């Protein structure tokens, strides 16, 4: 199962859907909603639809969660339900045997750090006022 999200109606999920299709997702849930919104009906529908043995696939970590805490909570909930998680651009796949290897843990740690530090990179690139203290982009 795939999940694609854009933040505004001016954006398109086409690139994400192409990537999800290339990853052999049999179904993709898509929505237009700010990542800051906790109420995302299509994400809720995708999570409700999935069963043990399924895998949730996203293009980037920030499509699924707004914060590291939210990301970890979501992936842990999936694991409790026997559902895998895969992120295409950050090479995370909880369904692979190597998921628990030391090199994989370093890679995951780097991906999560990259996800967590993205607002700081935007601020550094575009200057003060582009990222609020809570991490939201302006």
Look up the CATH number of the domain holding residue 38: 3.40.50.1390
pTM equals 0.72
Residue 86 lies in a domain: yes
Residue 70 lies in a domain: yes
Task: Check if 111 is active-site.
Answer: no
Domain of 15 in residue numbering reads as 2-96
Q: Please tell me what DSSP assigns to residue 94.
A: T
User: Total structural domains in the chain?
Assistant: 1
Say if CB 29 and CB 54 are below 8 A apart. no
SS (H, E, C) 44-57: HHHHHHCCCCCEEE
Burial group, residue 66, by CB count within 10 angstroms (0-12, 13-18, 19+): middle
Tens-digit pLDDT profile for residues 112-121: 555 555 555 5
Residue 72 lies in a domain: yes
Residue 56 lies in a domain: yes
Residue 106 lies in a domain: no
Tens-digit pLDDT profile for residues 44-73: 999 999 999 999 999 999 999 888 898 999
Residue 80 lies in a domain: yes
Q: 27 or 111, which is more confident?
A: 27
Residue 109 lies in a domain: no
Residue 19 lies in a domain: yes
Count of all residues that appear for the chain in the document: 138
């Amino acid at each position: 199962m795939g999940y694609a999200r854009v933040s505004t109606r001016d954006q398109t999920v086409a690139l994400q859907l192409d990537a999800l299709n290339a990853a052999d997702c049999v179904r993709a849930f898509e929505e237009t909603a700010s990542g800051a919104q906790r109420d995302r009906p299509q994400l809720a529908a995708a999570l409700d639809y999935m069963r043990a043995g399924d895998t949730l696939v996203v293009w980037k970590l920030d499509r699924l969660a707004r914060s590291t805490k939210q990301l970890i909570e979501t992936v842990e909930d999936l694991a409790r339900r026997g559902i895998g998680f895969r992120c295409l651009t950050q090479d995370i796949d909880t369904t692979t045997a190597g998921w628990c290897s030391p090199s994989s843990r370093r890679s995951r740690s780097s991906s999560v750090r990259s996800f967590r530090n993205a607002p700081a990179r935007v601020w550094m690139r575009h200057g003060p006022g582009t990222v609020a203290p809570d991490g939201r982009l302006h």
